[in-house]
Chain A
Amino acid sequence: GAGVSQSPSNKVTEKGKDVELRCDPISGHTALYWYRQSLGQGLEFLIYFQGNSAPDKSGLPSDRFSAERTGGSVSTLTIQRTQQEDSAVYLCASSGSGEETQYFGPGTRLLVL
């Protein structure tokens, strides 16, 4: 596709359930990022994948959060045992090799009841 895509657009889940959020980066982009946007915390970095290097997980808020990137393309962010404070918009971005500009997807709006 032409841009970064994310699915689902919206997700409502019950506290304690696991959720998976998907990101399809721009074709050929080697770097992929996850961010979280919430009312109280603004836009926060979560995790960064660059090629075959070990991901930068420094932004993950707890061990309930994990992410993987398969085949250097699609990424899945998993939140286990969701809590109400996990409610936020989860944004994915990608960038090309040697390029610093990050291009963002439309986000997944997660609501934990």
Chain B
Amino acid sequence: AQSVTQPDIHITVSEGASLELRCNYSYGATPYLFWYVQSPGQGLQLLLKYFSGDTLVQGIKGFEAEFKRSQSSFNLRKPSVHWSDAAEYFCAVERNQGGKLIFGQGTELSVKP
């Protein structure tokens, strides 16, 4: 069965510091991979996605993620965090035939001044 693991439930970083949020997936083939962000009381906003091709993908708000097949990982990175990045981040996978998203448990990001 497909699954997604986000090992870090909560991360705190200082404003201006770099960020890496981890995501590992379990799937028989290369799935479609997504990162979403959710601010308090809001829905999910797509940050970036990977379907195929270049394994380093760029997203909105200065985020990027790298797909590593050998590690079954799709980690999210940002070189310099802003206070407005404080939110919950979800990694998700989808079968490449379409259908439901399988989400990780989420990582809550706090940013300290």
Contact = CB atoms under 8 A, between A and B. Distances in A.
Contacts of A105: 43
A45 B102 contact: yes
A19 B101 CA distance: 25
Contact of B94 (A56, A59, A100): A100
A45 B36 CA distance: 15
Interface stretch (B22-30, B44-52, B61-69, B76-84): B44-52
A101 B46 contact: yes
Given A50-B98, A100-B51, A100-B98, A42 B43 contact: no
B44 A104 contact: yes
The majority secondary structure among interface residues of chain B is strand
A102 B105 contact: no
Contacts of A58: 100
B103 A43 contact: yes
Interface in A82-105: 91, 93, 100-105
Interface size range on B against A: 20 to 34
Nearest to A58: B100
B57 to A, nearest CB: 13
User: B45, B92, B101: which has the most chain A beta carbons within 10 Å?
Assistant: B101
Contacts of A56: 99-100
Interface string A48-69: 1010000010110000000000
A111 B24 CA distance: 33
A44 B101 CA distance: 9
Contact of B43 (A33, A44, A107): A107
Contacts of A48: 99-100
Nearest to B92: A43
Interface string B73-110: 00000000000000000101010101111111110000
28 contacts: A4-B43, A33-B100, A35-B101, A42-B103, A42-B104, A42-B105, A42-B106, A43-B90, A43-B92, A43-B103, A43-B106, A45-B100, A45-B102, A48-B99, A48-B100, A50-B98, A56-B99, A59-B100, A100-B32, A100-B49, A100-B51, A100-B96, A100-B98, A101-B46, A101-B49, A102-B46, A104-B36, A104-B44
